[in-house]
Chains A and B, each alone.
Chain A
Amino acid sequence: AQKITQTQPGMFVQEKEAVTLDCTYDTSDQSYGLFWYKQPSSGEMIFLIYQGSYDEQNATEGRYSLNFQKARKSANLVISASQLGDSAMYFCERRSGNTGKLIFGQGTTLQVKP
């Protein structure tokens, strides 16, 4: 079965430092999208960044960037200059461009230390 894996259940980072959250996926699709969402302790789901499988450049959105390595099937999220408000759970999602089917990773809890 196709799956998506976030190998880090929990991560710590010092404020103002950069952190990388890992995400690897398994797919036979040629066309797919990769997403990262943030879920703070308040519970809402917030979209952060998107990468299409045909995009040649890594996606960037402010302090967020996606290190997309297609051959390795990885889509790691890089957060630069961490802030206390970045403390949250982060989910990686893959969506098939063919079937529309989507699947989430199990999430990574990030804690930013002052």
Chain B
Amino acid sequence: DTAVSQTPKYLVTQMGNDKSIKCEQNLGHDTMYWYKQDSKKFLKIMFSYNNKELIINETVPNRFSPKSPDKAHLNLHINSLELGDSAVYFCASSQDGGQGPEAFFGQGTRLTVV
């Protein structure tokens, strides 16, 4: 009964490949996020989706594209992977209001580009 689940947990791939990371939440939240945590542990927001609309799009390369087929899913697709894309990617969801604004995180996907 994981609240926010992302797959795969580990992903090793070669430069130039295209890959996707899937995220699903069963909390009924309206907003989902993708974060990147680099090797120095810095956390940075990449995307935020609210009711299937992109509301924050930080300055990330357009090789990264979030795709939300429905409110419960926000997948991250990455084209032409580069060495610098190696990081841990976290998916999260939240809902402002009575249920609390805190974000619930997935377990993270460690992406290694070789």
Contacts and interface: CB of A to CB of B under 8 A. Distances in A.
In this complex, which of A45, A50, A99 has the most chain B Cβ atoms within 10 angstroms of its Cβ? A45
Contact of B88 (A43, A89, A101): A43
Contacts of B43: 91, 104, 107
B101 A45 contact: no
Chain B interface size range: 20 to 34
Nearest to B31: A100
Interface in B7-62: 31, 41-45, 48, 50, 55-56
A100 B103 contact: no
Contacts of A102: 45, 48, 56
Chain A interface size range: 20 to 34
Given A45-B90, A100-B56, 17 more contacts: A33-B101, A35-B101, A35-B102, A37-B105, A39-B41, A43-B108, A44-B108, A45-B103, A45-B108, A50-B100, A50-B101, A102-B45, A104-B44, A104-B45, A106-B41, A106-B42, A107-B42
Nearest to A104: B43
Contact of A47 (B48, B104, B107, B108): B104
Main secondary structure on chain A at its contact with chain B? Answer: strand
A37 B108 CA distance: 15
5 contacts: A43-B88, A43-B107, A45-B90, A100-B50, A103-B45
Interface of B: 31, 41-45, 48, 50, 55-56, 88, 90, 92, 100-105, 107-108, 110
B39 to A, nearest CB: 13
The 3 closest A-B pairs by CB, nearest first: A45-B105, A47-B102, A104-B43
Contacts of A101: 45, 56
Nearest to B104: A47
B81 to A, nearest CB: 21
